[in-house]
Structure 1
Amino acid sequence: MILEKNTPAPDFDLHATPDQRLKLSDFKGKRLILAFYPADWSPVCSDQMALYNSTLDVFHKYNAEIVGISVDSKWCHMAFGQDRKFHFPLLADFEPKGAVSRKYGVYDEENGEAHRALFVIDEKGVIQWSYLSPDGINPGADGILDALEEMDKQKK
């Protein structure tokens, strides 16, 4: 079961590059968008991550950062990110395979990869929105932006 609103976000500590790791606590005081996806280089995943790359300025206006997470290796992520010129980290949920995807309730046991899922986490590390997308469909950014706007309204 995918984790839902008002659930504390499980911690993670994953490779962003071969020699850099990122943890949930690294984003304390910021909003964080977690974009779980099945695999680097697949057409839908490539389109989805490219969309988020082009939406970074809008995310930043809401004090939000984004990270992509899949079970691909740190080396695969590095090549994919460099090739596509992504300006946000791709985290390797590689070993133990899918451990973070499992914590968030989005690991696909049958295919051995993450389902396509989105989470918006607030500044205190609490999930404010989550969405499980069909694996073959790019969920876009509308749901993320709606969640960020709603969070701003609640702050006022």
Structure 2
Amino acid sequence: MFYDEPPMRVAAPGSPGAATAQARAKGGPPGWPDGVPPPGARGWEAAVVPWLLDLCPPDYRGHAVLRRHPVALAWLAEHHVEAQVQAMRRAYRRVRVDLAERLPTGTVDALLVCLEQEGLRLRAAQRGIALVRDALEGQIFVPRLRGGSATDLA
């Protein structure tokens, strides 16, 4: 669940000021995956592949086409994580009905906490995948100015 406003995107990779904006976004835009260099950094596309593969079933690692084409891998990862989010939501709705009588007291509540934490992790992964996909497609992330007004700058 992300309440922060998404960064403004400028579609033209060669647009004026794009390199400066990329340099300012040291760790990438808000929601950018931890451990992955920001878009535009040397080797960031190669570094994003293991992160995406970690979000997919282990068997995906055996397909060379996914390692060679991060855009395809991001597309598959997006679908896979979306399915996981849907499964997590379904489990959260059904856990009391399906397991309350079969588990010791307090276990269902602990399981609900587990499902909630996993749901948050998956939603963060969805945000990261969307940002990675956008960057792979050449979108440039430009930081937004926060707070204040034009008169504050005078």
Larger radius of gyration: 2
Structure holding more helix per residue? 2
Structure holding more strand per residue? 1
Per chain length, whose mean CA-contact separation is higher, i.e. which structure has more relative contact order (CA < 8 Å, sep 6+)? 2
Q: TM-score, normalization: structure 2?
A: 0.28
Q: TM-score, normalization: structure 1?
A: 0.27
